[in-house]
Chains A and B, each alone.
Chain A
Amino acid sequence: MTELKTFSMKRMAFALSLLCIVPAAAHAEYPEKPIELIVGFSAGGGTDVMARTTVPYIEKYLGDGAQIVVKNVPGASGQIGVTQVAHSDPDGYTLGTYNLPGMMARTLDRESDYDADSFTFLANIVNDPNVIVTSKESGLDTLDKFLDAAKNDPKPLSVGMSSLGGDDHFALIKLGSLIGQDLTIIPFKGSAPTRTALMGGHVPVAILNISEVSGFEDQMNILGIARNERSDFAPDLPTFKEQGLDLVNGSMRGIVAPAGLPGDVKAKLLAAFEKAVVDPDFLKSMKETANPVEPHIGDDFKATNADALEWAKKVWTTSPWK
């Protein structure tokens, strides 16, 4: 497999070097051809919607009729796509979506062909904070009642969640260590089955993201939001911090490029992202698609990634998630 990869890489490099002979003479301004954005999930998923909603605004602020083509490379929770990005040429014509904490967690729990240094961090766009929800019939309608039950139940409480080694899982591990109590993790395949099992009373508690409970507020108890401040999405929902529980966690989705991007290209991309994330039309369409925006541009994003990695490492050594 690796042999095959290096072979095709060599061939690609050769083909590219051939291509470069012509435009090298007159170095035109970036971007002079369509940019490919690799999305590590299939069309219509949360990350895909984020990417497709963002693309027109990046095109707009790159100017000069810049064109970005979205390509879905689904598989292995985004790992196949992000690996492709890490190994592509750092010329600014391949970008990719990037998820935290998932992408960094994969470097710990699996053999991965990339690490934190494989990327140029452009912009985090979305941070979908976690919420703890309980079923109506569980009677656990406040955080205190839930914490009481978690501490006093003879058996560890069952908590539904949607992705092994993803943000929900991390939130659960954080929660467990904060309250010093074991919780039984019930890993459903995706957030919709988790939510349904909760609504049907098959699990008493679940960890979801705020965007996944919008519209279902009447059918479950939402105990709080794992964010530093309240979210625009649900201004009446108190944070866990307000309630004395230091739980901050969420699913972050952004866009990266391979490491070693030329300075001028990087600057141009960063400038475009800076402008796009404050564009009122952009913010409006992100709100419509239930994407809570939390921009971290450039070095800020890189630092966020380093934090996530450090935290994941700590968890991986004390309580590995698989």
Chain B
Amino acid sequence: MYGDLINALPTVLTVANFAAIVIGVIAGIVVGALPGLSATMAISVLVPFTFGLDPLVALGLMAGIYNGAMYGGAIPAILLRIPGTPAAVATCFDGYPMAQQGKGGYALQVAVVSSSIGGIASALALMLLAPPLSRVTLLFGPSEIFWIAVFGLSSVVFLLGKHVVKGLISAASGVLVSSVGADPILGVDRFTFGQLELLDGINIVILLVGLYALPPVIDLLEKPLKTDALGTGKLHTQSLLTSLPSMFRFWRTWLRSSLFGIWIGILPGAGGSMAAFLSYNEARRASKTPETWGQGEPEGIAASETANNADTAAALIPALTLGIPGTAVAAVMMGGLLIHGLQPGPMLFRENPDVVFGFMWQFLFGAILLIFLGGSLATNNFARVLRLPRPLLGAMIIVLMLVGVYSIHGRMFDVYLMLGFGAIGYLMDKLDFPLPPVVLGLILGGFAEENLRLALRIGQGDWSILWHNVTSQLLIVLTIGVVFGPGILRRIRGKRGKDGGDADGNPTP
């Protein structure tokens, strides 16, 4: 197998294939940076055009876009508090405060270096460990996946913000939105009001753009005369070579978040956003100074950006070996493989080793290139965007949002839906309801529901199916640890030191 890996290298290094990766990465960064456009969308638009291309050129483009977009999403997240992709939500937490403090340039550099490291780790996992890791996927049936969703949902306790009740309302409304569409088991329509457009549920990008991008834009337009654009007019960027050494202290976070990203990637389901949320929480828990998180801690950016890129190639492990996509993007990429007559599955490795292993190399090169292409793009060009007059910037973003949302399915219905969510997001912002729990609720609520019900059907209604094997039991213990661990720890410490922990009942560790 490793022989095939080496044999595939010369094919990848042809000019056309390499150019495809470079173009892909640049396109990916741009697409990721534009709110409303995501990697999933870019690749699904691209797939039909690749019909006539050489398979490796097509796949190189896709690998590049995937890697680029996962970083690109961080750019508006840091500079404007608008996550460019769902996976960049956690990057906002510390990225935007850093930009406000005039450290936007450094924040972007942390993001690009971390993204690249996550991408490289993920590509290596795909190249070296794909067949054994694919067996891990098989361990996860509906009941195990249900527990992963619960584990993910439990991390909502870190996202609740200052008001626990408001945070819970946000999370619950996310779950409510996830229940729109055809019931996954019986096919009965729920909250669709007779609209075919709602039968498949609400696309995460529509909700994200409405909730996250519209309120900051309205904010931009509300105060058109504020001259120091967002307080971040200057990025204070130093050369990447000067700032790189100061990042080496993040090595633990890089390592941990890479593992998280790879793990979430090989599990079918939630994808980059869940990887970023989970690894952000874990990194904060492990930090010696958790109180600085959320106020501009560069390590927070490192955690979220490493994980969302570590998810990329890993998501293709089950996709290529078993034909199950780990993320929505991987699902679209599988379509890209199918269109070239490459059936994902065990036969793929035997019948088309050149293409499969070439594709893996392309992921690795894409991740390495990210640091060069992303580094220069981010540090040199994005500062200019921020010096635009605020009404102009706001208007541009609104146009991009409308185009992006329209292009998901090519229908106005989604645009109206997005505007509706935007109005809700604006109110929530003003009333101090936190937005991240909504996103988490939407992503994981439906996921948890579907798998719980599948598991119960398999168990013929017997609830014990949910804890009948070791994998499930481990996940249950982990979940309980995340939810109750911090409280218990605080109580123990409180008894010893008599300082009582957080008085406001905020479960932040």
A contact residues vs B (CB 8 Å cutoff)? 1, 42-45, 48-49, 52, 70, 72-77, 79-80, 83, 109-111, 155-156, 158, 164-165, 184-189, 192-193, 195-197, 199-203, 214-216, 218-219, 285, 288-290, 321-322
Contacts and interface: CB of A to CB of B under 8 A. Distances in A.
B324 A196 contact: yes
B197 A189 contact: no
Contact of B322 (A77, A83, A155, A192): A192
Among B48, B137, B460, max chain A CB count under 10 A is at B48
B348 A215 contact: yes
Contacts of B339: 43-44, 48-49, 52, 289
B347 A199 contact: no
A184 B460 contact: yes
A197 B142 contact: yes
Nearest to A42: B44
A187 B453 CA distance: 10
A288 to B, nearest CB: 4
B138 A43 contact: no
Contacts of B197: 75-76, 80
A196 B318 CA distance: 10
B410 A158 contact: no
Contact of A72 (B48, B141, B347): B48
Contacts of B189: 110
Contacts of A110: 189
29 contacts: A1-B194, A1-B195, A42-B44, A42-B335, A44-B332, A45-B338, A70-B48, A73-B409, A77-B199, A156-B460, A158-B460, A164-B187, A165-B187, A184-B460, A185-B457, A186-B458, A192-B322, A192-B323, A193-B324, A195-B323, A197-B142, A199-B138, A200-B137, A200-B139, A203-B141, A214-B345, A285-B341, A288-B341, A289-B341
B325 interface: yes
A43 B44 contact: yes
Contacts of A216: 345-346
Given A76-B200, A80-B196, A289 B457 contact: no
Contact of A155 (B141, B188, B335, B460): B460
A155 B194 CA distance: 37
A200 B196 contact: no
A43 B335 contact: yes
Interface in B180-194: 182, 184-189, 194
B458 A214 contact: no
A193 B450 CA distance: 12
Contacts of A155: 460
B137 A196 contact: yes
B346 A196 contact: no
B483 interface: no
Contacts of B335: 42-45, 48
Interface in B322-356: 322-325, 332, 334-336, 338-339, 341, 343, 345-348
A192 to B, nearest CB: 5
A45 B199 CA distance: 19
Contacts of B186: 164, 322
Given A44-B332, A52-B48, A216-B346, A202 B142 contact: yes
Contact of B140 (A192, A200, A289, A322): A200
B268 interface: yes
Contact of A322 (B51, B188, B332): B188
A166 to B, nearest CB: 10
Nearest to A45: B335
B346 A200 contact: no
Interface in B108-163: 137-143
Contacts of B48: 43, 52, 70, 72
Contacts of B268: 193, 196
Q: Which 8 A-B pairs have the closest CB atoms?
A: A44-B335, A202-B141, A215-B347, A215-B345, A200-B138, A322-B187, A288-B341, A164-B187
Contacts of B334: 44
Nearest to A185: B457
Contacts of A290: 343
Contacts of B200: 75-76
B47 interface: yes
Contacts of B141: 197, 200-203
B454 interface: yes
Contacts of B332: 42-44
Contacts of A188: 454
Nearest to B348: A215
Contact of B47 (A43, A164, A203, A322): A43
A75 B199 contact: yes
B196 A186 contact: no
Contacts of B460: 155-156, 158, 184
Contact of A215 (B184, B343, B450): B343
Nearest to B408: A74
Residue of A155, A196, A218 contacting most chain B CB atoms (<10 Å): A196
